[in-house]
Structure 1
């Protein structure tokens, strides 16, 4: 099985998952320059992370564990060497048996159940501190429900009316959109991609290749990192399902749930001097 086929399968349950937009708005309204969020990190090939300290990047575990090794990432257009990868011990990668079953039957329910109980988060320690980009501040509150999230990424794109295909590019142009958080508990917060008239003026959702990127909440005029795009809830045969359609739900790793793990790992690595 090729990596592309695997990522297409996981997209409906744990998306490798630019921004999918409203069908009734021009794409130019969603396009933004790099200066919109320079702390966004490009992983090799596809996927994102976010710079949260001069020498630390946070990302979704599944956005990096499919690669044999992460030696370098791109921040603000500049290559940065990676010293080490720290994956949360609670991350659970779908076993090949479940993947084979889903590919044979089109039913990814058990993969979705497994990943919903997984800690899909990882840290990258850079070899050298980043001095030309300000790290993103973290959202530490537990009141994400009903707040408006700003989502940013360069992954697959399309519209809510047509979605996008499994073979569409997972690395496009930088876009940003907004959505209202409809659920928040434990590891996750999620939102639904609504159609007009229920949609926000720049409603959107993440696509393949946006995983590990930024879902931000505004506090006192500052956008804080609250979540990492992770997986999508969509019904249908995973082998033929169109992704990015209205009514689908995007779930994000909830940063507030992992503050202790993030801070303890950065602190212990710093004390170790490595």
Structure 2
């Protein structure tokens, strides 16, 4: 629960995350029925799961609908094994929605994909809007510490004794924990943390050791899912840390880290504005990132048919989306192309293509 229990060194935390850097998902208390966690998840219809198809691999994460046409997820979910992202589908209420455009925070690349930097965040655009489900509002305050947070996702499950078990991804669960800031561990305040308290070792004279009724931590497949506070999405599930035994298996005492939404409110809206505004057409190539992705489990293979091979996924470079309001009344031809970050060659080509297209359109208009 509370982070004053997390006394281990920051150096050990960063080292461990470097080796176990994919967000982990849904393990539950050993003394609570799973049905209580799956029932709680039904209160969060905006959370769906995200299928991704890369050039030679497939993956599954979670994501949150924040607008009928946009979902919020983790950057590492679309950044796998140095491979091109060919297709992606967001499943909401059993219906697949194809992803057409993506963008990841430039800080994810400039930090060399450091999970502890607090930039593991991405926005994806859907080809068809989700109109029959409510979108999750974003958490705009800065009072997350010591509040009860609800983690939601489709990750693997098990209990605090066993940790997560193989081949258990694909069922939506939600559980709760007390939220603290990254600074409680000497890390960035663009991170939110919780730890998985053990009910048999809690001390009633120390409230921070007492687990919540539906205490929970994230496990593989919950990456990109939502951390909710009072019905608002406050975090994006990012990584786990086996602080007690060195095993990142989502067992008791393990710690969950999420990217803090309130630190990136302007960036999120800017990313949606950029996708809505820029006419990217044929000037984009499929994205190509470098890191380790989530394994696609056998029990989810029926979802493979959701991939629309005719619908490629295109990436938009983040040139500083948090400053999007500055560009609202600007002509695209005036954008400072030389200042656009270039995390890889595909993004460099993309940025040049956008500027070239805008310039050509401006010339056509001037001749009419």
Aligned alpha-carbon RMSD (Å): 2.6
Distance 1:157 1:12, change over 3 A: farther
Kept in 2: contact 1:11–1:231 (CA 8 A): no
Please identify which structure carries the higher strand content.
1
Distance 1:118 1:34, change over 3 A: closer
2:276 aligned counterpart, secondary structure: helix
Pair 1:227 & 2:235 matched? yes
Equivalence map 1:66-215=2 (5 Å) = 66=80, 68-69=84-85, 70-92=87-109, 114-117=114-117, 119-165=119-165, 168-169=166-167, 171-185=169-183, 186-196=189-199, 197=202, 198-215=210-227
CA distance in 2, matches of 1:71, 1:162: 32
Kept in 1: contact 2:240–2:248 (CA 8 A): no
Residue-pair matches, total: 241
Kept in 2: contact 1:92–1:115 (CA 8 A): no
Distance 1:232 1:16, change over 3 A: closer
Cα deviations across residues 178-234 of structure 1 (Å, max 9, x unaligned)?
10013345220101100114111110111111000011001xxxx110011101122
Deviates most, 181-190 or 151-160: 181-190
Q: Which residue of 1 aligns with 2:287?
A: none
2:178 aligned counterpart, secondary structure: strand
Kept in 1: contact 2:45–2:93 (CA 8 A): yes
2:71 aligned residue (57, 60, 71): 57
Q: Which residue of 1 aligns with 2:259?
A: 253
Q: Which residue of 2 aligns with 1:6?
A: none
TM-score, length basis structure 1: 0.79
Distance 1:22 1:177, change over 3 A: same
Please identify which structure carries the higher helix content.
2
Pair 1:271 & 2:277 matched? yes
Gaps of 5+ in 2: 1-15, 52-58, 184-188, 203-209, 281-368
Q: Which residue of 2 aligns with 1:107?
A: none
Structure 1 residue 235 displacement after superposition = 4.0
Distance 1:34 1:164, change over 3 A: closer
1:26 aligned residue (22, 26, 33): 33
Distance 1:138 1:89, change over 3 A: same
Pair 1:217 & 2:229 matched? yes
Structure 1 residue 93 displacement after superposition = 9.3
Kept in 2: contact 1:120–1:230 (CA 8 A): yes
Structure 1 residue 172 displacement after superposition = 3.3
Larger radius of gyration: 2
1:270 aligned counterpart, secondary structure: helix
Kept in 1: contact 2:23–2:220 (CA 8 A): yes
Cα deviations across residues 11-59 of structure 1 (Å, max 9, x unaligned)?
9642243511111222222222874222112111421111101111110
Higher relative contact order (CA 8 A, sep 6+): 1
CA distance in 1, matches of 2:121, 2:37: 27
Q: Which residue of 2 aligns with 1:46?
A: 60
CA distance in 1, matches of 2:34, 2:232: 25
